[in-house]
């Protein structure tokens, strides 16, 4: 049987600890090519680079693992893999992460990690975003690697229907503390921001975004936020048709 | 009756012709504050700026219209309006655009115009993204302004249920050529990219993203792509729960 090829990317950059954790997951299932952003791309969502040239650099190569940096966004990295670097090969799986920080609830929309995972699914390849609810640069990924491996194994063993995109989040816990895996829906909530406002050394006012997530349904046990708050790994299957079908008839009347 | 307050933003930048077209639509319904990116932010999706300070500059002020530039993304502009600059006021409507280029089909995910419109809807305010299928810097927005005005008027006159976010696209046509407004679903399709690959003046290889949209269902008459191709204005109601509910049961079995 031909060895599988796994594409790994992230939004924290090619030298993030979380990328190594994702590679540790991926390496159990095949050969790994990682193409990750040159710089941090947190919050970059599904952004693509339209008006700048992009630079690709091979950073390291060892048995079964090659790591490149790419000077664009996470989605650019995925496109670079499928449409250029690996276009002659069959990529069997995309893993994006492991992100330093949660991408549950509405964060799926802002997340560069999930932007890349969604993009991978457009290429007819199972794609999994992995995120740990811990922003620490030196976060402990042991439980994430263990449970991430379990999920990837199930997805690769079964012939899952495509497109397939999963938003997987891990609580901060030791492996033995995790209560299991829960398939969830995306929690309803939103961010309320405050702009930190100060003066730079040249006397110019500047603003810096800072915010707080408001969970609108903390008691709803079928959401990803609930699962994470209660010690479970959350798995949300993701689709990309944003049409609000329930509104269509009303709008047809309104805009007649 | 208190004059309405309309927030206008875009992703092409504060000095784009399309911003003036959006302001022309908005000004008929109230006072306008425009906060638009300092530089082009096409393809920036729902991206937010987490790791850089941002600068706000007032660019012009005339009767009922104030224009600011903000050095971040389209979503940053919306957050700046709701969470800082206009936080003591009630914003009645967000208009994002008019974009130079279509945001139909899957482009809703990559679009900075729609990123801003979606963000506006998170603040409990009707939000409308307007886009013209013409990338020309000097595009003709006459039909877009006429039909955009008609749609905004209907949304403001009725008490629409919130959240309310619309993805409106205009075909390239003279006003009298447009066949009407169609409420549609998001077309299924995807981009296939090619990387233009060349050498910079310093001998370094660079890549530049270029691509082609593949419409997977050109015959489906209920989609935005069909409407635009047949001379209609397309209106897709947008929601942001990406959960793929149809997959949940199968995944629960798979990951048990």
| Residue ranges of domains in chain B | 5-187+219-241
- Using a CB-CB cut-off of 8 Å, the residues of chain B touching A204 are 55
The C-alpha atoms of residue B22 and residue B10 are separated, in whole angstroms, by: 9
How close, in Å, is residue B154 to chain A by CA atoms?
7
The pLDDT value recorded for residue A256 is 87
The pLDDT value recorded for residue A2 is 83
Say whether A193 and B83 touch across the interface (CB within 8 A): yes
Span B27-65, pLDDT tens digits: 999 999 999 999 999 999 999 999 999 999 999 999 999
The pLDDT value recorded for residue A59 is 98
The pLDDT value recorded for residue A54 is 97
B174 touches chain A (CB under 8 A): no
Of B206, B237, B252, the CB nearest to A54: B206
The pLDDT value recorded for residue B109 is 96
Sign of the CA dihedral with A73 first, then A77, A78, and A79 last:
positive
The pLDDT value recorded for residue B192 is 87
How close, in Å, is residue A28 to chain B by CA atoms?
18
Superfamily of domain B5-187+219-241: Survival protein SurE-like phosphatase/nucleotidase (3.40.1210.10)
Instruction: Give strand pairing partners of B214.
Output: B190
Token pair for residue B229? 């191709």
- Does the domain made of A4-188+219-242 have the CATH classification 3.40.50.300? no
Span B186-225, pLDDT tens digits: 999 889 888 999 999 999 999 999 988 999 999 999 999 9
- Tell me the percentage of chain B whose pLDDT exceeds 90: 94
The pLDDT value recorded for residue A180 is 97
Say whether B241 and A151 touch across the interface (CB within 8 A): no
B84 touches chain A (CB under 8 A): yes
- Closest alpha carbon to A25 in A187, A170, A180: A170
Q: Which of B9-38 are b and which e, b meaning 16 or more Cβ less than 10 Å from the residue's Cβ?
A: bbbbbbebebbbbbbbbbeebbbbbbbbbb
pLDDT at B118 over 90: yes
The C-alpha atoms of residue A58 and residue B218 are separated, in whole angstroms, by: 40
DSSP H/E element including A194? strand A189-199
Q: Distances from the Cα of B162 to the Cαs of A248, B125, B159, B165, in angstroms?
A: 14, 7, 9, 8
pLDDT at B131 over 80: yes
The C-alpha atoms of residue A255 and residue A249 are separated, in whole angstroms, by: 10
- Closest alpha carbon to B49 in B70, B63, B20, B18: B70
Instruction: Give strand pairing partners of B223.
Output: B185
The pLDDT value recorded for residue A130 is 98
B117 neighbors B135 (Cβ within 8 angstroms): no
Global pTM value:
0.96
Shortest CA distance from A196: residue in chain B: B53
The C-alpha atoms of residue B99 and residue B79 are separated, in whole angstroms, by: 19
The C-alpha atoms of residue A117 and residue A126 are separated, in whole angstroms, by: 9
The pLDDT value recorded for residue B222 is 97
Backbone angles phi, psi at A108, to 5 degrees: -55, -30
Tens-digit pLDDT string for chain A (256 aa): 789 999 999 999 999 999 999 999 999 999 999 999 999 999 999 999 999 999 999 999 999 999 999 999 999 999 999 999 999 999 999 999 999 999 999 999 999 999 999 999 999 999 999 999 999 999 999 999 999 999 999 999 988 999 999 999 999 999 999 999 999 999 998 898 889 999 999 999 999 999 889 999 999 999 999 999 999 999 999 999 999 999 999 999 999 8
A254 touches chain B (CB under 8 A): yes
Shortest CA distance from A180: residue in chain B: B256
The pLDDT value recorded for residue B2 is 83
- Closest alpha carbon to B235 in B93, B139, B117, B134: B117
- Using a CB-CB cut-off of 8 Å, the residues of chain A touching B44 are 45, 47
Residues in contact with A228: Cβ distance below 8 Å, sequence separation at least 6, in sequence order? A102, A104, A133, A169, A170, A171, A234
What is the Cα gyration radius of chain B?
19
CB pairs under 8 A between A and B: 207
Read off the pLDDT band of B151 (50, 70, 90): very high
Tell me the Ramachandran region of residue B203: left when phi exceeds 0, alpha when psi lies from -120 to 50, beta otherwise.
Answer: left
Average pLDDT of chain B, as a whole number: 96
């Amino acid at each position: 049987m031909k060895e599988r090829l796994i594409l790994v990317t992230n939004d924290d950059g090619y030298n993030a600890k979380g990328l190594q954790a994702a590679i540790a997951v991926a390496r159990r299932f095949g050969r790994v090519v990682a193409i990750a952003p040159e710089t941090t791309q947190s919050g970059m969502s599904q952004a693509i680079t339209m008006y700048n040239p992009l630079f690709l650099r091979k950073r390291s190569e060892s048995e079964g693992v090659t790591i490149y940096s790419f000077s664009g966004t996470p989605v650019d990295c995925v496109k670079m893999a499928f449409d250029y670097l690996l276009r002659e090969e069959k990529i069997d799986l995309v893993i994006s992460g492991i992100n330093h920080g949660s991408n549950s609830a509405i964060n799926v929309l802002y997340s560069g990690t999930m932007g890349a995972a969604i993009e991978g699914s457009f290429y007819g390849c199972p794609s999994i975003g992995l995120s740990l609810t811990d922003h620490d640069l030196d976060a402990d990924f042991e439980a994430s690697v263990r449970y991430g491996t379990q999920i990837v194994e199930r997805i690769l063993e079964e012939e899952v229907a495509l497109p397939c995109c999963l938003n997987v989040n891990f609580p901060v816990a030791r492996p033995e503390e995790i209560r299991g895996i829960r398939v969830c829906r995306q929690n309803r909530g939103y961010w309320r921001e405050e702009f930190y406002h100060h003066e730079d050394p040249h006397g110019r006012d500047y603003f810096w975004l800072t915010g707080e997530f408001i969970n609108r349904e903390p008691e709803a046990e079928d959401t990803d936020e609930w699962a994470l708050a209660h010690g479970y790994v959350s798995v949300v299957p993701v689709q990309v048709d944003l049409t609000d079908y329930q509104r269509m008839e009303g709008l047809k009347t309104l805009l007649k």
